[in-house]
Structure 1
Amino acid sequence: MIRPRNALFLVLACAAAIGPAACSTESGQPAASRDLASGATSTPSATPAPTSSAEPPAAAPEPLALSPQAQADVDGRLILAAKANDAAQVATLIAAGGSVNAKDAIQDSAFLYAGAEGFNEVLQLTLAAGADVASTNRYGGTALIPASEHGHTETVAILLTAGVPVNHVNNLGWTALQEAILLNTGGPRQQEVVRLLLAAGADPMIRDPEGRTALENAQRLGFTEIADLIMAGSTPGS
């Protein structure tokens, strides 16, 4: 049994050695000694360092390169989607790595086919994805030539704005201007196509394989309005 006088001595000795907070007279044993006896430590826990709430977001991972077989598959599906005029699927396949310049067995690409057929939403997607505007089809023609033949006025405007060469000559010896005259009826849509082509710098003096100019072909076929546009050399009123 610890007498009161002895207990007071222990408390004073403890306070002198390790500080009063570590001492207790509750059991006559210093608190630090009780902690050590029970296996616990008496050192204060460290305060964790605050974490920043404004950490920069992780960079998006680079898309994996496709194997040759996978690339050929996605390119083929992209061309089929373009031929079906499925703009949503075209966008999905472009995002998956499909090339808008890849061609199928008959030399159609998503870009060339969309331009030829007047699929303007698909066409705009291919242009945004880096379509080669100077690329040619199996007839050696740009997308502008069949678009002009078919009278797709909005498509012709899109292609001219994109920079498709206006005076390119295909394997048949025809420019877009010649084909707009020779392979259609000379109606209002063809007249508008001719206006657009002339305004973009189409040369009406380029002759076809028969040696005829665009003006001579328009006159020969009785397309008076187109002949007048060519002779005027520009859009009326400009």
Structure 2
Amino acid sequence: MSELNFVQQFLEAAGKGEIDTLKKCLEQGVDINARNKQKRTAILVAAMNDQLDAVEFLVQAGANVDLQDETCFNPFLFGCINGKLELVKMMIKANANVELLTRFGGVGITPASEKGHVEVVRELLTTTDINVNHTNICGWTPLIEAIILNDGGEKQQTIIKLLIEHGANVHMVDKYGVPPIELARSKGFTEIENILLAAGA
């Protein structure tokens, strides 16, 4: 079998969680960090297919957990964006770089805050030193994203409280100079407005 075929087999096995095949391919000398056309590594393919045993196997075998595909996904960021708590925990344990950016220039907590992934946000805030005030290319912090890109509901309120408890700056404005409290008011999110007021906004 050609080297290319081995790589293809390796990546397919990752997506199906076929650990024996992964082992065989590595024994044949396949690069554990080989990528497909989308620049995805086997560990990312496994992560995107919820094959957590394969993810764990590849971590133990020495895969680079930080390599990003052409859309900036790696297992950690994919987990943060999609609310995959177990995957996120595995990546934190594997010392994933929490400063790597999504394609919108956010860190993992940015999309997790926006999308209402409460447990992922809690995990990131309590077990990593991720930058809670990181500003993405839209000029938004995780706090601002949590306010303006969702429905202001209970999950968002919990996330906003968590962000504030862990050092989110309630005065950091968006790129137009609008503070979080004004953004909450303009959306009619009274509960969030009250949380921000209680935090000194």
Q: TM-score, normalization: structure 2?
A: 0.79
1:215 Cα deviation after fit:
0.6
More relative contact order in 1 or in 2 (CA 8 Å, sep 6+)? 2
Aligned to 1:183: 149
Question: Which residue matches 1:212?
Answer: 178
Partner of 1:37: none
For 1:92, the equivalent position in structure 2 comes to 57
The residue aligned with 1:119 is 84
Write out per-residue CA displacement over residues 147-196 of structure 1, whole angstroms, 9 at most, x where no aligned residue. Answer: 00011111001111211100000011000000001100000000000000
Q: Which has the larger radius of gyration?
A: 1
2-side partners of 1:228 and 1:78: how far apart? 43
Gaps of 5+ in 2: 1-25
Question: Displacement, 1:68?
Answer: 8.8
* CA offsets 1:51-98 (integer angstroms, 9 cap, x no match): xxxxxxxxxxxxx9x979442249611111212222112111212221
Q: What's the offset of the Cα at 1:127? A: 0.8
What is the CA deviation profile of residues 100-120 of structure 1, one whole-angstrom value per residue up to 9, with x for unaligned ones? 111111111111111121101
What's 1:203 paired with?
169
TM-align CA RMSD: 2.0
- Consecutive unaligned residues of structure 1, counting only runs of 5 or more, are 1-63
Partners of 2:32 and 2:81 in 1: CA distance: 27
Aligned to 1:106: 71
The answer as to whether partners of 1:82 and 1:110 remain within 8 angstroms in 2 is yes
Aligned residues: 170
Q: What is the alpha-carbon distance in structure 2 between the residues aligned to residue 111 and residue 67 of structure 1?
A: 26
Q: Distance in 2 between matches of 1:198 and 1:171?
A: 22
Q: Assess, with a 3 A threshold, how the Cα gap between structure 1 residues 67 and 143 changes in structure 2: closer, same or farther.
A: farther
Where does residue 34 of structure 2 map in the other structure? 72
Q: Is residue 169 of structure 1 aligned with residue 135 of structure 2?
A: yes
Residues of 2 paired with 1:160 and 1:68: CA distance?
37
The SS at the match of 1:101 is: coil
SS at the partner of 1:212? coil
Query: 1:130, CA displacement in angstroms?
Result: 0.9
TM-score (norm 1): 0.67
**Partner of 2:113 in structure 1?**
148
Question: In the alignment, which residue of structure 1 is the partner of 2:197?
Answer: 231
- Alpha carbons of structure 1 residues 70 and 77: separation in structure 2 relative to 1, 3 Å: closer
Rounded to whole Å, the distance in 2 between the matches of 1:217 and 1:69 is 48
Identity among equivalent pairs (%) = 36
Cα distance, 1:89–1:70 mapped onto 2, change above 3 Å = closer
Query: What amino acid is aligned across from residue 81 of structure 1 in structure 2?
Result: A
- Greater displacement, 165-174 / 200-209: 200-209
Distance 2:181 2:77 in 1: 28
Contact 1:71 / 1:97 at 8 angstroms: preserved in 2? no
